[in-house]
Structure 1
Amino acid sequence: MVADTRPAPRPRNKTVAAWLALVGGGFGWHRFYLHGFGDVWGWAHAIPTALGLWGVDRVLTYGQDDQLSWVLLPFLGIGLVAACLTAIVYALQPPQRWNARHNPAGPADARAGDTNWLTVIAVVLSLMVGATALMAGLAFSFQRYFEYQIEEGLRISQ
């Protein structure tokens, strides 16, 4: 019988995961921290964020009248909102559930699942950033949609 010589997996800290979701969640940083670079969902987080950043680039290049940009910009908002929601979900998980899911080799009350002030600050900032991104994305999209409808209505009436 050969003994398993692999090192024990390092504990995954709830506060670190919440901050990674807040800061780089649009690019999947939290997923890579928890599941490694082979995580498909981690790489999938970058797609809407990249589309939204392309929309920002189009606004800066072509101005607000670019129709494709007002379709692409909400994807950035969706990516940011999803990342902030993930940070909130991570931060508010009870330590026992966090450790059971992300640190199964350790005890249920391991310090990696504890909530501290940095975790609370991550929740507060996630709420602020997520709500701002959601409202800004919706406001920009609806504003451009209705302005476009008015322009088309004027064009048809002439």
Structure 2
Amino acid sequence: MNAKVKHKAVATWLALLVGSFGLHRFYLYGLKDRWAWLFPLPTLLGLIGVQRMNHLGQDDRMAWVLIPLLGISLVAALLGGIVYGLMPDERWNARFNPERPAEPGGWGAVIGVVLCLLVGGTTLMATIAFSAQRYFESQADH
């Protein structure tokens, strides 16, 4: 059986760019991966929340609930990108390329990890700040 080679840098960059839809997991595990199928729904619901807030304003409570789902999905995908990018080459190849000799991840994976950390940290802090602000504003209204 000649399995397709999985590259660490590709998985890291997929997590960074389109990971909120689970494409990094589909790349690594195929369409039967149950965890990958958990990504698109919260991402789409979060995007609906962003659209609602753009159209209905900041007082739309449904948007308050939906937008953090987008943040959580993004953070989970970026965390996956960090884990993939930092995985030792021997472990990566043993897990995803068992029939091939170890190949180094290279600078593509390193740069992807740095960007995943930057975007992931920013997204996590923004999601926490948004949720906390909406919570305390709702408590002040009572």
Same fold per TM (> 0.5)? yes
User: Which residue in the other structure is 1:77 paired with?
Assistant: 71
Superposed displacement of residue 136, structure 1 = 0.8
TM superposition score normalised by structure 2: 0.95
**Please, which runs of 5 or more residues in structure 1 have no aligned partner?**
1-6, 153-158
Percent identity, aligned pairs only?
Answer: 55
**Aligned partners of 2:78, 2:25: CA distance in 1, in Å?**
13
Matched, 1:51 2:26: no
User: Which residue in the other structure is 1:97 paired with?
Assistant: 91
Deviation string 1:76-115 (CA, Å, 9 cap, x unpaired) is: 11011111110000000011100111011222x2x2xx22
User: Which residue in the other structure is 2:29 paired with?
Assistant: 35
Q: How many residues are matched? A: 142
Task: Show the 5 A alignment for 1:74-153.
Answer: 74-107=68-101, 109=102, 111=103, 114-152=104-142
2:4 corresponds to which of 10, 16, 28:
10
User: Which residue in the other structure is 1:4 paired with?
Assistant: none
Two-structure CA RMSD over aligned residues (Å): 1.1
2:61 corresponds to which of 42, 62, 67:
67
**Please, which runs of 5 or more residues in structure 2 have no aligned partner?**
none
**Aligned partners of 1:51, 1:11: CA distance in 2, in Å?**
33
TM superposition score normalised by structure 1: 0.85
**Aligned partners of 2:120, 2:139: CA distance in 1, in Å?**
29
Q: In the alignment, residue 18 of structure 1 is paired with which amino acid? A: T
User: Which residue in the other structure is 1:155 paired with?
Assistant: none
Q: In the alignment, residue 129 of structure 2 is paired with which amino acid? A: A
**Deviation >3 Å, runs of 4+:** none
